[in-house]
């Protein structure tokens, strides 16, 4: 029998909903403001009078983006980074988490490797030794400088390791009885039942690679090799006198209508679109996977 809620419990529920609504609005405001600014007029953006709605609606900034080949070049560098880096992160995470999830009787050196991983997660050699290592390996100005230094995300390894350890041992024992080897057991048993956790760490990797800008700034000497976030971080609106002679009248008008604020906001909006499209497909796995992978029995 369901008991009716008291006045105090109803008031508490209303307060919680109002608080969560307030948090949602505060979280949404920066995104909404960026979109409104990207559609606003140059003078309104520079005057700081744009708030929730565009002022002097125009599409000049988006027209400039469509004509900016460097933006799309950086965009595809980031896409390539996400695909290659995400695949490397996922493969190495699974291959490292699986043996670390075994008992000490099956993997005697497990604790030593775990302490080594935790130490590397807390301490690093520093930026200069890392840069010198990348340079000595001749990876500067290549996609490998962006994906190999963070090829093994230790936090993700710990999540997947705990998830594997919480799986019923009978699954592995049944596979061993049927003659399955370690690799076959991993591919046919552990990975199919671990999709929520794998989707969660994949989302972490995708967001991390897509939003990273500092490594592209220090490892890429040529602006053509910049990933998207590094390119956006370097953005300002500059009118090169030598470029003016090659612009048509319409292009010059569009350039004069844009400002640093409107153009950069438009490029931020375009850069957010891929993540906004990916999140809905992985969101259903997110909470389930992070909870199952973070609790140790």
Residue 106: DSSP 8-state: T
**Cα 123–Cα 127–Cα 133 angle in degrees, nearest 5:** 100
- Averaged over 245-266, what is the pLDDT? 61
213-238 b/e with 16+ CB inside 10 Å = b?
A: bebbeebbeeeebbbbbbbbeeeebe
pLDDT at residue 251 above 60? Answer: no
pLDDT, position 133:
87
Sign of CA dihedral 236, 241, 242, 243: positive
What is the distance between the alpha carbons of residues 200 and 54, in angstroms, rounded to a whole number? 36
For the chain, what's the residue count? 297
Q: What is the model's pLDDT at position 238?
A: 46
- pLDDT value of position 81: 92
Q: Of 231, 269, 258, nearest to 36 (Cα)?
A: 269
What pLDDT does residue 297 have? 46
Q: What is the mean pLDDT of residues 1-6?
A: 59
| Better pLDDT: 255 or 273 | 273
- In the chain, domain spans: 60-292
168: left (phi over 0), alpha (psi -120 to 50) or beta: beta
Most confident of 25-39, 102-116, 225-239: 25-39
What pLDDT digit, counting tens, does each position of 76-133 carry? Answer: 999 999 999 999 999 999 998 888 888 777 778 788 888 888 888 888 778 888 888 8
pLDDT of residue 89: 92
Round the average pLDDT of the chain to a whole number and report it: 78
- pLDDT of 242: 45
pLDDT value at 243 more than 50: no
Rounded to 5°, the CA angle 289-148-279 comes to: 35
> What's the fold here for domain 60-292?
MetI-like fold (1.10.3720)
Percentage, residues of the chain above pLDDT 70: 84
With a cut of 60, say whether residue 34 has pLDDT above it: yes
Q: What percent of the chain has pLDDT over 90?
A: 7
Give the largest CA-CA distance in the chain.
80
């Amino acid at each position: 029998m369901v008991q009716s809620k008291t006045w105090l419990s109803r008031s508490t529920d209303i307060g919680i909903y109002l608080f969560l609504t307030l948090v949602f609005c505060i979280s949404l405001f920066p995104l909404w403001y960026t979109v409104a600014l990207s559609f606003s007029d140059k003078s309104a953006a520079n005057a700081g009078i744009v708030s929730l709605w565009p002022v002097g609606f125009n599409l000049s900034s988006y027209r400039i983006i469509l004509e900016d080949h460097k933006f799309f070049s950086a965009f595809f560098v980031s896409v390539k980074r996400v695909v290659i880096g995400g695949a490397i992160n996922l493969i190495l995470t699974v291959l490292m988490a699986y043996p670390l999830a075994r008992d000490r009787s099956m993997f005697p050196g497990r604790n030593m490797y775990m302490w080594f991983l935790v130490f590397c997660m807390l301490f690093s050699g520093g930026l200069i030794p890392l840069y010198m290592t990348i340079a000595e390996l001749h990876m500067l100005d290549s996609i490998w400088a962006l994906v190999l230094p963070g090829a093994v995300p230790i936090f993700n390894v710990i999540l997947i390791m705990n998830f594997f350890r919480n799986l019923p041992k009978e699954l592995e024992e049944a596979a061993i009885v049927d003659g399955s080897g370690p690799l076959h057991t991993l591919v046919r048993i552990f990975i199919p039942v671990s999709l929520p956790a794998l989707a969660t760490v994949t989302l972490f990797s995708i967001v991390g690679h897509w939003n990273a800008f500092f490594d592209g700034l220090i490892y890429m000497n040529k602006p053509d090799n910049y990933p998207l976030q590094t390119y956006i971080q370097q953005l300002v609106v500059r009118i090169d006198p030598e470029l003016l002679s090659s612009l048509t009248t319409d292009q010059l008008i569009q350039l004069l209508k844009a400002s640093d604020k409107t153009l950069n906001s438009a490029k931020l909006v375009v850069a957010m679109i891929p993540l906004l499209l990916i999140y809905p497909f992985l969101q259903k796995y997110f909470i389930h996977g992070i909870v199952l992978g973070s609790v140790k029995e």
